[in-house]
Amino acid sequence: MSDATLVQPRTEFLRGFSMRDAGTLIGLIVILAVFGALVPGFFAERNLINILQQSSINACLALGMTQVIISGGIDLSVGPTAALSAVISASMMVAGVPFPLAVGAGFAIGLLCGLVNGILVAHVGLQPFIVTLGTLSTYRALALIYTGGNPVLGLPAGFRAIFNSSLFGLPLAVIIVAFVAIAAWIVLKKTPFGEYLLAVGGNEEAAYIAGVPIARTKIAAYMISGLLAALAAQILIGRLGAAEPILGNLWELDAIAAAAIGGASLMGGKGSVVGTILGAVILGAMRNGLTLMNVQSFYQLLATGLIILAAMLIDRVTRGRG
Amino acid sequence: MSVRLQFDGISKLFPAVRALHEVSFSVGAGEIHGLLGENGAGKSTLLRILSGVYRPTAGSVLIDGKPVTLANPVAARAAGVAMIHQELQQVPRLSVAQNMFLGHPLTRGSIFVARREQERRAAEALAAIGPSIDPAAPLSTLKVAQRQMVEIARALLDRARIVAMDEPTSSLTPSEFERLAEVIKGLARDGVAIVYVSHKLDEVFGICRRATIMRDGIVVDSVDLKSLSEKAVVAMMVGRELAQEQHNSHASSQVMLSVRGLASTKVRDVSFDLHRGEVLGIAGLVGSGRTELLRLLAGVDRATTGSIVINGKAIKPASPRDAIAAGIGLVPEERKREGIVPLRSITSNMALASMSVFAPHGIIDHRGLKQIAAEKMKRVNLRPFLLDRPIRLFSGGNQQKAIIGRWLAAGTRILLFDEPTRGIDVGAKAEIYHLIEELAAEGHSVVVVSSELPEVIRLADRVLVMRDGAIAAELGRADLSEQAIAAHAIPQTRTPAAEPARQ
């Protein structure tokens, strides 16, 4: 084989993969430019860090959501999964359990919630939308029943200090999510699991005949989503110092929006870690800018809706040109 | 008898394929006219033109002597054409009556559906052809034969002057067929022209007086069945010049795969051996269980009984993963649906079956993967040679090469091809043939299922002919001819050998 044949595909590879991400990046730049012009102090270092911090929880959830969406599914239960994880971790800490153990238990709850979703989808064969709609209510109910509807207050200072700390001037939450993003990128691009995910979502029948472990792949995607929901929950209760059973309401919609803006297709088989992160930052930057402009929350909602629709329209118009 | 339906010089060109060439024949009012030919002879294309799905490239359709434009299925229906498909095109959850009025419901004041009136008229139409079917029952509660009656009753409702039936009996029992035959004859007595497509020659001989025989998109002849034997008709159906290229066998005596008594719902008691370096052809009509047999071997479906032994080791594949681990790989018939992951690159598609090999420590060695991909794709002569391009942008032939490369990369020793050249142009076809021969020469064992008899004869060292889910015959190279295969593949009442198998 000649070297020429090995070199050419490489440019093809870069072109094919970064085009959609470049589009999302342009979208982010446009939004930053608009707010930079309209809002004094928008580009202040402190505000930019604020945007990242405010985007971090949604980005964390959206990274898990991206895996599930690529597999051809959807996870509507991330908010209640986070709530259940949060109240259980918090009540353990309040009861005096060392916090690494309590946090570990919270992660285990997240994995368990994802496992239940995954089994119902992959082994029982139910539709992902309906399964996670059902567990959305179920997990929320469990969190409410467990706490009697009351917030769990008085988290230990040591735990709170960790999640409120900064490294190199960046909040720990941002750094954690950055690591998660790198890990997610590696998983998607560099591991067999990533290839399986794209294949299962892209053509399940063909993937099955090619020997891809369909059920295992799908279950793993839901478990990753559950785990990242639990991580988001720990970040939030660390910041707030309390865990409410109703936390994470409508988180799933922001996460889906970030993934979709970033180029994930709800038909499955398509999605990008870089795009999802950019999508989450777009949503975060927009909310931050509108808040600084003192725009009523009604209009923030409107802006969110329009951005999602605009991203999808641009997607539709540019598709089929590659 | 007046001419009701006339095809006048119908040609149909698809990109790179001439599906029909100057097809002309006519069907009289009250005539049941057989339309015969092998798979791919052009029967289905002709019926699609008649039912308005396709438009002919040249030529015209005349009904009662007048040229008609069948621009779409609605126009065809308005012109009096009713089509009864092999796969019934109905909505199972709706009622019988709703299905019969699908697309043009009876209404009250053009707003509300006149459900009662629909059911009354549906019942009338059903009564006219006999069966006692409740028009209010959901269609899904009916048996296939009853559903067929519903379709015919619908044709009556539409006052169809022409009824085209595509393999109407493929899933009927003999007594159900008798019933259907009576209904068809009744339609004919009322002056309806019937075009009857079937592979079952005995049925065609039983209810048709005349038939048109097609081959490779042209009409061989329109014949009077009273003056011909089934054998003569078969010869006309398959009698093209045999594509005899020289054939080299690489089969050794070493048995690679041994199948005994394999059975499922569609496969009955199949036993055979496959040798190292052998190309084993499996012929038979569509629906004879060929694809199902391959799916059992490849672990896609599970066998109810029987054994599969590979290299002396018994396996019970519960999934393709198991079969692949044992060294069996399937190149499926429906490439788009079962073969490729369209958005992914050639490399990803190729590596799908052997990912773990390329990721010994959990992380994919992209450099090694690229090298293997380049090597295998060079081997199968992929064109254009762009390994990171999404596979959907390649031609069917090159997609097929990538799927073959998938099994080469996985080190698969037993390759199962289901219709290896379906939807592949002529040039790539020859490449695929050469590739299959080379694979055998290298010591792979190959099974080729094909509806194209010249393809089977070109490739196979030995051919198993399947009929009704069982192996009807085994033909060695010396006995191999299209006539011989067809004689075993097509159920013929007068073949003594077929009698015990039927019981």
Could you tell me if residue A303 is inside a domain? Answer: yes
Closest partner residue to A206 (CB to CB) among B340, B370, B390 is: B340
Chain B partners within 8 Å of A202 (Cβ): 341-344
CB B75 within 8 A of CB B86: no
Burial (0-12, 13-18, 19+ Cβ within 10 Å), B202: middle
Percent of residues, chain B, with pLDDT higher than 90: 52
For residue range B420-478, list pLDDT tens digits in order. Answer: 988 776 667 888 999 999 999 999 999 999 988 888 998 999 999 999 999 999 999 98
Average pLDDT, chain A: 91
Nearest C-alpha in B relative to A199: B341
How far, in Å, CA of A35 to CA of A29, rounded? 10
Dihedrals phi, psi of A148, to nearest 5 degrees: 65, 20
Closest partner residue to A209 (CB to CB) among B338, B366, B387 is: B338
pLDDT surpasses 80 at B117: yes
Q: How many domains does chain A have?
A: 1
What pLDDT shows up at residue A200? Answer: 97
Closest partner residue to A12 (CB to CB) among B343, B359, B389 is: B389
Between these two residues, B187 and A237, which has the higher pLDDT value?
A: A237
- Give the mean model confidence (pLDDT) for residues A143-150: 96
Q: Which domain holds residue A157?
A: 45-318
Chain B partners within 8 Å of A205 (Cβ): 337-338
- Give the mean model confidence (pLDDT) for residues A137-160: 95
Between these two residues, A230 and B154, which has the higher pLDDT value?
A: A230
Instruction: Provide the CATH number for the domain around residue A119.
Output: 1.10.3470
Between these two residues, B56 and B91, which has the higher pLDDT value?
A: B56
Q: Does the CB of B318 have a partner CB in chain A at under 8 Å? A: no
Nearest C-alpha in B relative to A271: B343
The residues near A3 (Cβ < 8 Å, ≥ 6 apart) are none
CA of B341, closest CA in chain A: separation in Å?
5
CA of B329, closest CA in chain A: separation in Å?
8
What pLDDT shows up at residue A322? Answer: 35
Token pair of B299 as six digits: 């672990």
Chain A residues with at least one Cβ partner in B under 8 Å: 1, 5-6, 8-10, 12-13, 16, 186, 190-192, 195-196, 198-199, 202-203, 205-213, 269-270
CA distances from A215 to A118, A207, B44, B128, B347 (A): 8, 11, 39, 51, 23
| Best mutation target, B294, B337, B341, B367, to test chain A (most A CBs within 10 A) | B341
Contacts 24+ apart (CB under 8 A), B232-238: B233/B36, B233/B201, B234/B201, B234/B483, B234/B486, B234/B487, B234/B490, B235/B483, B237/B36, B237/B37, B237/B38, B237/B41, B237/B213, B237/B486, B238/B38, B238/B453, B238/B482, B238/B483, B238/B486
How far, in Å, CA of B475 to CA of B465, rounded? 8
Closest partner residue to B386 (CB to CB) among A9, A205, A208 is: A9
Closest C-alpha to B283, from B446, B460, B19, B495: B460
What pLDDT shows up at residue A297? Answer: 85
- Give the mean model confidence (pLDDT) for residues B358-371: 92
What pLDDT shows up at residue A296? Answer: 86
Does the distance separating the beta carbons of B332 and A211 come in below 8 Å?
no
User: B476 - beta bridge partners?
Assistant: B462
Does the distance separating the beta carbons of B321 and A209 come in below 8 Å?
no
Chain A partners within 8 Å of B385 (Cβ): 5
What pLDDT shows up at residue B241? Answer: 44
Does the distance separating the beta carbons of B339 and A202 come in below 8 Å?
no
What pLDDT shows up at residue B16? Answer: 60
Does the distance separating the beta carbons of B320 and A208 come in below 8 Å?
yes
What pLDDT shows up at residue B66? Answer: 92
Could you tell me if residue A3 is inside a domain? Answer: no
CA of A60, closest CA in chain B: separation in Å?
23
Could you tell me if residue A286 is inside a domain? Answer: yes
| Best mutation target, B315, B337, B348, B355, to test chain A (most A CBs within 10 A) | B355
Nearest C-alpha in B relative to A202: B341
- Give the mean model confidence (pLDDT) for residues A90-110: 96
For B488, other C-beta atoms within 10 Å of its C-beta total 24
Could you tell me if residue A240 is inside a domain? Answer: yes
Token pair of B428 as six digits: 């790539």
CA of B298, closest CA in chain A: separation in Å?
8
Does the distance separating the beta carbons of A192 and B355 come in below 8 Å?
yes
Dihedrals phi, psi of B391, to nearest 5 degrees: -65, -25
Could you tell me if residue A106 is inside a domain? Answer: yes
For residue range B403-422, list pLDDT tens digits in order. Answer: 999 999 999 999 999 999 88
Closest partner residue to B359 (CB to CB) among A6, A191, A206 is: A191
CA of A18, closest CA in chain B: separation in Å?
13
How far, in Å, CA of A227 to CA of A236, rounded? 14
Lowest mean pLDDT among A84-98, A242-256, A289-303: A289-303
Q: Does the CB of B385 have a partner CB in chain A at under 8 Å? A: yes
What pLDDT shows up at residue B245? Answer: 58
Lowest mean pLDDT among A93-97, A229-233, B179-183, B188-192: B179-183
For residue range B243-284, list pLDDT tens digits in order. Answer: 445 788 889 999 999 999 999 999 999 999 999 999 999 998
Does the distance separating the beta carbons of A5 and B355 come in below 8 Å?
no
Does the distance separating the beta carbons of B362 and A191 come in below 8 Å?
yes
How far, in Å, CA of B419 to CA of A209, rounded? 16
Does the distance separating the beta carbons of B375 and A209 come in below 8 Å?
no
pLDDT surpasses 50 at B43: yes
| Best mutation target, A209, A212, A267, to test chain B (most B CBs within 10 A) | A209
Closest partner residue to A13 (CB to CB) among B338, B342, B388 is: B388
Task: Output the CA torsion sign for A123, A128, A130, A131.
Answer: positive
Chain A partners within 8 Å of B414 (Cβ): none
Query: Look-up: residue for tokens 């590739």?
Result: B435
Does the distance separating the beta carbons of B341 and A199 come in below 8 Å?
yes
Could you tell me if residue A292 is inside a domain? Answer: yes
Per-residue pLDDT band at B171 (split at 50, 70, 90): low
Closest partner residue to B342 (CB to CB) among A5, A190, A202 is: A202
Could you tell me if residue A82 is inside a domain? Answer: yes
Closest C-alpha to B395, from B441, B437, B360, B432: B432
Per-residue pLDDT band at A4 (split at 50, 70, 90): very low
- Give the mean model confidence (pLDDT) for residues A191-201: 96
CA of A4, closest CA in chain B: separation in Å?
11
For residue range B59-102, list pLDDT tens digits in order. Answer: 999 999 999 999 998 899 889 999 887 666 778 888 888 888 88
CA of A11, closest CA in chain B: separation in Å?
9
Cis amide linkage into residue B384, ω under 30° from 0: yes
In order of start, what are the domains of chain B with their CATH numbers? 3-238 (3.40.50.300), 246-327+414-420+447-503 (3.40.50.300), 334-412 (no CATH)
CB pairs under 8 A between A and B: 106
Closest partner residue to B339 (CB to CB) among A12, A196, A206 is: A206
- Give the mean model confidence (pLDDT) for residues B233-243: 66
- Give the mean model confidence (pLDDT) for residues B475-500: 73
Nearest C-alpha in A relative to B407: A210
For residue range B332-344, list pLDDT tens digits in order. Answer: 998 989 999 999 9
Q: Does the CB of B374 have a partner CB in chain A at under 8 Å? A: yes
Per-residue pLDDT band at B237 (split at 50, 70, 90): confident
Does the distance separating the beta carbons of B337 and A212 come in below 8 Å?
no
Chain A partners within 8 Å of B321 (Cβ): 211-213
- Give the mean model confidence (pLDDT) for residues A236-245: 94
Burial (0-12, 13-18, 19+ Cβ within 10 Å), A25: middle
- Give the mean model confidence (pLDDT) for residues A248-272: 93
Lowest mean pLDDT among B202-216, B243-257, B487-501: B487-501
How far, in Å, CA of B266 to CA of B268, rounded? 7
How far, in Å, CA of B316 to CA of B314, rounded? 7
CA distances from A237 to A144, A158, A240 (A): 16, 13, 5
What pLDDT shows up at residue B425? Answer: 67
| Best mutation target, B294, B343, B347, B414, to test chain A (most A CBs within 10 A) | B343
Query: Look-up: residue for tokens 């359990």?
Result: A97
What pLDDT shows up at residue B170? Answer: 64
Lowest mean pLDDT among A150-159, A181-190, B137-146, B408-417: B137-146
For chain B, how far is it from start to end, CA to CA, in angstroms?
Answer: 40
Q: Does the CB of B443 have a partner CB in chain A at under 8 Å? A: no
Nearest C-alpha in A relative to B383: A5
pLDDT surpasses 80 at B239: no
What pLDDT shows up at residue B84? Answer: 85
What pLDDT shows up at residue A22? Answer: 87
Average pLDDT, chain B: 87
CB B403 within 8 A of CB B416: no
Q: Does the CB of B320 have a partner CB in chain A at under 8 Å? A: yes
Does the distance separating the beta carbons of A213 and B374 come in below 8 Å?
no
- Give the mean model confidence (pLDDT) for residues B310-327: 94
Nearest C-alpha in A relative to B335: A206
For B496, other C-beta atoms within 10 Å of its C-beta total 8
Closest partner residue to B352 (CB to CB) among A186, A191, A210 is: A210
What pLDDT shows up at residue B493? Answer: 52
- Give the mean model confidence (pLDDT) for residues A239-252: 94
Could you tell me if residue A2 is inside a domain? Answer: no
